[in-house]
Chains A and B, each alone.
Chain A
Amino acid sequence: MSARHPLPRWMDIVLLPAINLIMAFTISGLVVLMIGESPLEAISIILYGAFGYGDGFGYTLYYATNFVFTGLAFAIAAHAGLFNIGGNGQAYVAGLGVIIVALALDQTHWLLAMPIAIVAAGIFGGAWALIPGYLQAKRGSHVVITTIMFNFIAAALMVYMLNRVLKPASSQAPQSETIDVAGRVPQLREFIPFFGYSPVNLTIVLAIAALVAAYFLIWRTKLGYQLRTLGQNSVASRYAGMSNSKLIMIAMTISGACAGMVAVNEVMGVQNRLVLDFVADAGFVGIAVALIGRNHPIGIGLAAVLFGALYQGGQELQFSMPTVTVEMIEVIQALIILFTGAMEGLFRPALERSYALLSFEQNAEATRRATVEPES
């Protein structure tokens, strides 16, 4: 068997994701074609809806804010070799922390309420991820299965909390009391009228900060180095004297805290109260975002905007093309996960082989020169 050459960096982080994206879009395009609509027209509607005007762009950024958090949550755990698909549950439970802080402090000022709410969201989301992390580290139960189970437990818990604890006596709907204006996160439209009525708010700054912080954490700190070592080779990390179980728990807690930030955006910035199912599967979008973004903050940022655009553009598409419902976006997202996450083996070997073929002649030339030169 010919030795497999690793791909050069640009192929690995740009070309391969691009090919996978194109595959996913092509298949989705075929589905649109199959029902008798024009895929090109659909794309142009999506692009206009997502970027063409202030409101649309604002919505794109609002969705992207959530996806950055869940994408980072998945990526940080993935760097440590953990597959955290509990982002949904972690973000959902973090809503409890946010609403407690927000309702307690909404008479003061958002500059006080928001940082404390962020901490609370981190604690609640982190704790909800720490339990599966602990169970994996100390009891050996698989984190994938436990995080799935914790998503459902979170859903049941939150329905109970909203119906029995947080619902004001006067209300029928299962939702908490409304947060007072003073305690809400300011909307971007208050500073930039361009964004119209879109709900993009200052949490987006937190998202950008989180991207930068994640970069430093993963590649510039001792902890990040330890997490990556664990992810690459858990035997090596143990041999080097690191505590694997401690690292697993830390990675899961950071991951869950990251997912929890979705609650800050939704509860304090958009809904202004805790409502049922406010996460709306952002946790699962995060998986696609992290996979297509190659678990790197820059990639995650770009992928989050891509998915934000798809979600916002998909809403517009539903208005202009009633036959193409917004679920089409879910299909695209699933195909992207399938191609980039599970079917990586489809294109990578072919790419590696063709790259090896291309570079073979150069290599041969180099070896010939290297072997000939000493004789002369």
Chain B
Amino acid sequence: MDLELILSMANATLRLATPLLLAALAGLYSERSGIFDIGLEGKMLAAAFAAAATAAVTGSAWLGLFAGVAVSIMTTMVQGFASITLKGNQMIAGVAVTMLAAGLTTFLGQTWFGQGGRTPQLSGDARFERIILPYANELSGVPIVGPIYAWVLSGHYILVYIAFLAVPATAFVLYRTRFGLRLRAVGENPKAVDTAGISVTFQRYQAIFITGILAGLSGAYFSIAQGAGFGNEMTAGKGYVALAALIFSKWRPVPVMFTCLLFGFLDALQIRMQSTELPLIGEVPVQAIQALPYVLTVVLLAGFIGRAVGPKAGGVPYVKER
């Protein structure tokens, strides 16, 4: 393989890992606080639509991003109200929210823009620009470091950098702050937290608020950064891949990043490998690579390679003793 191919694959990996990373970190806050979240896909879809619709109307990508995040938070709060306050089934709440987002986005898209559920093509300020890091051109001549800096790290949308900065931030919040300690505690042993006089309910709502923000960023990335406008089902199951990544990395922030990079790489590989022959193996079916993240997660969950044990109180609504 030549250098250029490696660099472009690395670039594509970062690009494709970003929405997964944002969504997986979103899920991390929720699940670490004891709320299983299989509604990531729905929040991303709702955010993608809201972002594209707002950007199309106002012509501002930043307003679009803001709207996407706001809608994602609202969706999360509906799900949270069902799972935290009403103590409903968290799985069903997730399924319902995803379905609601899938139906409403297409429906409202068709009603408002009349283009078969798509939003108008975005251009100019309505879409995020790629950011060229300082001195990228000047440094590209430097051996090894130069091309990596110029062609892999530079030239991404701002959300890509936000996503990767969110990893150390999440690790710090989770392991080094009082908020993080409490968040992990309500996910493992809510009764102990309650006994210490801290509201489990409020703590969980705070956690899913962050989930809403991150899932909103992830959704907006699809429609106003990577793509130029919203299309039906545009998140295409990436919310579930993110969920798989979260489980695969055993609910820890730094491994989440590496898993998302791995899954992003598989995605890039899958695009690159369409109908190319490999030496020895022959042609690898694209579908095999597409299914790989899911298969890996199942294998991990089954405990054949390591063991993935989620937060102990996950999926169980907290009922105060009377």
Contacts and interface: CB of A to CB of B under 8 A. Distances in A.
Interface stretch (A41-49, A139-147, A240-248): A139-147
Residue of A145, A150, A342 with highest tally of chain B CB at under 10 A: A342
Contacts of B294: 149-150, 152-153, 156
Contacts of A284: 95, 99
Nearest to A83: B91
B302 interface: yes
Given A149-B297, A157-B291, A346 B96 contact: no
Interface string A30-41: 010001000000
A337 B95 contact: yes
Contacts of A324: 107
B86 interface: yes
Interface residues of A, number: 45
A324 B96 CA distance: 21
B88 interface: yes
Interface in B88-141: 88-93, 95-100, 102-104, 106-107, 110-111, 117
A159 B301 CA distance: 25
B83 A342 contact: yes
A217 interface: no
Contact of B243 (A140, A141, A148, A157): A148
Contacts of A327: 102-104, 106-107, 110, 117
B5 interface: no
A330 B110 contact: no
B298 interface: yes
Interface string A313-350: 00000000001110111110111011001111110000
Given A139-B303, A343-B86, A344-B88, A145 B100 contact: no
A1 interface: yes
A328 B93 contact: no
How many chain B residues sit at the interface, stated as a range, is: 35 or more
A142 B311 CA distance: 13
Given A323-B111, A331-B100, A342 B291 contact: no
A85 interface: yes
Contacts of B290: 156
Contacts of A164: 285
B288 interface: yes
Chain A binding surface, main DSSP class: helix
B89 A341 contact: yes
Contacts of A334: 96-100, 102-103
A157 B88 contact: no
B82 interface: yes
A135 interface: yes
A263 interface: no
A324 B82 CA distance: 28
A204 interface: no
A129 to B, nearest CB: 13
Interface string A167-182: 0000000000000000
A328 to B, nearest CB: 6
Interface string B281-295: 000010110110011
A345 B244 CA distance: 30
B73 interface: no
Contacts of A338: 78, 82, 92-93, 96-97, 100
A281 to B, nearest CB: 9
B295 A153 contact: yes
A164 B283 CA distance: 12
Residue of A148, A333, A345 with highest tally of chain B CB at under 10 A: A148
Contact of B38 (A135, A148, A331): A148
B106 A344 contact: no
Contacts of A219: none
Interface in A247-292: 284, 287, 291
A338 B298 CA distance: 27
A342 B83 CA distance: 7
Contacts of A146: 298, 301
16 contacts: A83-B89, A83-B92, A85-B91, A135-B301, A135-B302, A139-B303, A142-B310, A145-B247, A148-B243, A152-B294, A160-B285, A325-B106, A337-B92, A342-B82, A344-B86, A345-B88
Interface of B: 36, 38, 78-79, 81-83, 85-93, 95-100, 102-104, 106-107, 110-111, 117, 237, 240, 243-244, 247, 285, 287-288, 290-291, 294-295, 297-298, 301-304, 308, 310, 322
The 5 closest A-B pairs by CB, nearest first: A330-B103, A345-B86, A341-B92, A141-B301, A334-B99
Given A148-B240, A323-B110, A331-B103, 5 more contacts: A139-B303, A284-B95, A338-B82, A342-B86, A342-B96
